[in-house]
Structure 1
Amino acid sequence: MSAPVIETRGLCKSFGPQKVLDGVDLTVARGESLVVIGGSGTGKSVLLRTILGLESADAGEVLLDGEPASAAVRARFMRDFGMLFQNAALFDSLPVWRNVAFRLLRAMPAVQARTRAVERLARVGLGPEVADRMPADLSGGMRKRVGLARAIAADPKVIFFDEPTTGLDPQRAAAINRLIRDIVTETGATAVTITHDMTSVRTIADRVALLDHGRLRWQGPVAQMDKADDPVLRAFVQGEPLDWGPRAATGPRG
């Protein structure tokens, strides 16, 4: 079997006295769509930022394509990845097509990059008339779709989705979820999504991992999620009231 595309071993991260990641062991197989769930403040974003090298781990390690994530390995990995940020993170001073083609413009002429951008906009349901509009002229749902078009513009092998449906109404959220699932299926890309939206989980995920108090409390195929015995997972999935008290993980830590 090939090495996992992403692997964390014993990953720990604290901010002052607050331990955010507490020995996280996680693997993401090639072509898999993994969704990491958990409540606000449980470490989902910190886990993602640590994998990407935006945060330094206090202990443990990150492996990318089976190699420790040195600067050279990470730079090679980042050439083949795309990301949809929670707020789309568009450049307000650039027209839509230049946002989508931002990375492409370093590798090809502007005319070719614009053509690719228009093609990717069409893939996410936006017509060519949107290409020359400014981000400020777009609705929240359109901005999110432009962000998705940018994430897939360079045909990445790995795509990260950070709370992809935050701020969207149910219909627009459903459209984004379906687009993500279709794109991952059609391209064979490896996908890592962090979210607390269970509709997103059921649409996007092949496998689910629950992050709770800095540990991976449960992970398994999405089809097994509703049948799992773990009370914390069950409460999260069913939207039951939150228990604010500390608790120890009963499931595997990785």
Structure 2
Amino acid sequence: MSDAGTPMIELRGVSKSFGAKHVLRGVDLAVARGESLVVIGGSGTGKSVTLKCILGLIPHDSGQILLEGQPLTPERRARMLERFGMLFQGGALFDSLSVWENVAFRLLRGPARRPRAEARALAVDKLRRVGLGPDVADLYPAELSGGMQKRVGLARAIAADPQIIFFDEPTTGLDPIMAGVINDLIRELVTEMGATAITITHDMTSVRAIADTVAMLHEGRIRWRGPVSRLDDSGDPYVDQFIHGRAEGPIEAVR
């Protein structure tokens, strides 16, 4: 049993290369229990690779990944996966399944398996929590707008009441109004559930709406980490250039 001061997730010197390409070069990052951390950085800086290493989708080359202070062995990762939810960048809904079956996907199989009627009732309740009525439950993803699909993805992410939630570019492809709705929903749900959240995004509006803490990943290392309230006066020229979208600065734009 870990004490309250032990990070929920911690990376110590995590490195990952693909052939001669060094993507992560010794990432040190800790996420406290109940903290909402947003990782920012340019394309190709290793944000998605970091998430994939935590999830075990790809193996890291060196360093340690810890869950509640203990090394994340395959057995412990399997237990972690039972406690986590994820909102994928493109929604990743199953076209052949109805909306409620998408939301209840993990409730219909695996360790969290529930009777079908109970799983449907739980799915309808999660849809309600993201602002969708029961009339949506029997529709299929193709019948929904992009914003509604994102809400369904969010309902699926919280279906099993996870302790850890990952958000991969949660507002990609949405108009500014719907993006604001999704940001508000994420903030509300994470706070309500007391979940530990890690979000990766380029959207600075999302960063300010979702984050307790922000970490900038640059050239495979954490360049800066601090509370979202310090983002505008971080004192770091890389952070300053990135959050204001300036072409000129220490970050070289790929032309």
TM-score after normalising by structure 2: 0.94
**Residue matched to 1:161:** 167
Separation in structure 2 between the aligned mates of residue 198 and residue 76 of structure 1, nearest angstrom: 33
Which of 83, 86, 103 is the matching residue for 1:83?
A: 86
CA contact (8 A) 2:247 2:253 kept: no
Q: Indicate the residue corresponding to 1:46 in structure 2.
A: 49
Q: CA deviation at 1:244?
A: 2.1
How far apart are residue 2 of structure 1 and its match?
Answer: 3.3
Q: Percent identity?
A: 64
Query: What residue is the counterpart of 1:251 in the other structure?
Result: none
1: CA distance between counterparts of 2:219 and 2:139? 43
Query: Aligned partners of 1:182 and 1:154: how far apart in 2?
Result: 17
Q: 2:252 aligns with which of 232, 244, 249?
A: 244
What's the counterpart of residue 63 of structure 1?
Answer: 66
State the partner residue of 2:182: 176
Q: Please give the alpha-carbon distance, in whole angstroms, between the structure 2 residues aligned to 1:183 and 1:97.
A: 19
- Residue 133 of structure 2, aligned match among 127, 136, 147: 127
**Aligned pairs for 1:156-235 within 5 A:** 156-235=162-241
Match of 1:34 in 2: 37
Q: How big is the shift at 1:65? A: 1.5
Q: Read off the aligned partner of 1:91 and give its amino acid letter.
A: F
Instruction: Give the alignment's Cα RMSD to 1 decimal.
Output: 1.2
Query: 1:169 and 1:160 mapped to 2: Cα distance?
Result: 22
Partner secondary structure for residue 101 of structure 2: helix
CA shift at 1:245, angstroms?
7.3
Paired letter, 1:244: E
Secondary structure (helix, strand or coil) at the match of 1:133 reads coil
Inter-partner Cα distance in structure 2 for 1:174 and 1:143: 15
TM-score (norm 1): 0.95
Gaps of 5+ in 2: none
- Structure 1 gap ranges (5+): 247-254
Alpha-carbon separation, structure 2, partners of 1:60 and 1:136: 42
Cα distance in 2 between the residues matched to 1:220 and 1:213: 18
Q: Which residue of 1 aligns with 2:20?
A: 17
Shift of the alpha carbon at 1:17? 1.2
> Residues 232 and 134 (structure 1 numbering): CA distance in 2 closer, same or farther, change over 3 Å?
same
Aligned residues: 246
In structure 2, what is the Cα distance between the partners aligned to 1:244 and 1:204?
A: 28
One-letter amino acid of the structure 1 residue matched with residue 205 of structure 2: T
Counterpart of 1:148 in structure 2: which amino acid? L
> Structure 2 vs 1, CA of residues 245 and 84 (structure 1 numbering), >3 Å: closer, same or farther?
closer
Counterpart of 2:227, as a letter, is P
SS at match of 2:91: coil
CA distance in 1, matches of 2:69, 2:162: 18
In structure 2, what is the Cα distance between the partners aligned to 1:39 and 1:125? 32
- Aligned position for 1:250: none
Q: Which amino acid aligns with 2:42?
A: G
Q: What is the alpha-carbon distance in structure 2 between the residues aligned to residue 56 and residue 175 of structure 1?
A: 35
Equivalent-residue separation in structure 2 for 1:67 and 1:209 (angstroms)? 22
Aligned residue type for 2:83? D
For the residues of structure 2 that align with 1:143 and 1:65, how far apart are their CA atoms?
A: 33
Distance in 2 (alpha carbons) for counterparts of 1:180 and 1:167: 16
